[in-house]
Amino acid sequence: MVVLFLASTSPRRAGLLAAAGIPFALCAPGPEYACGGDDHTHGEVGEPRALALARARRKAEGAAPPDPRIPVLGVDTVVDLGGSELGKPRDRADAERLQRALAGRTHEVHTAHVLVLHRDGRSAEELATATVRCRVPEEAELQRYLDSGQWRGKAGAYGIQDEAQTFLAVAAGSYDTVVGLHVAAVQRLLRRLEAT
């Protein structure tokens, strides 16, 4: 029995839910994300935590679940370097620019989760934050990662789980928050929505 609809096109988020044994089905996120748009191309500026929550809300509230009695989960991940969002890179040169901005610094990753029950409009939300440390990579190491293309479509131009990346590590918080979905937060939201 499905306990939630995931309003996401991210295979990483689907994989985390599946690995946790949470029964789910996919549904398209809000219409602004449906036609090749993504969560970092709307020209938004603002405080990174607030941006993550607003986007996760739009994904969940804008979805059209096949069954309105089953809650919809919207999720958004933002890389926060000193209070500014580092979005998804446009191309390899942009990915290199973002990677060089992160090198030798610590940054935060915020993943917002919003669970909405379309039948009656009830919702619950939670923001998870982790701290990531990026050492200064050797030039060959950085170029090897850029050549891999594994940074494509990822906030901050990296995936903590990428095999080709060897210079980023979670310093505090949960690893899955950095991947893009904090399983414990989803479990808490399901319990919270059931209790209301």
Q: Which of 38, 39, 67, 76 is catalytic?
A: 76
CA distances (Å), origin 67, targets 24, 71, 81, 117? 12, 9, 39, 10
Q: Which residues contact 193 (CB under 8 A, 6 or more apart)?
A: 71, 115, 117, 122, 123, 124
Is the distance from CB of 95 to CB of 151 less than 8 angstroms?
A: yes
Cα 94 from Cα 180, distance rounded (Å): 21
Is residue 147 part of the annotated active site? The answer reads no
**Alpha carbon distance 139, 137 (integer Å):** 6
Paired residues of 117 in beta bridges = 122
- Give backbone dihedrals phi and psi of 78, rounded to 5 degrees, phi first: -125, 135
CB of 79 closer than 8 Å to CB of 92? no
Give the residue numbers marked as catalytic. 76
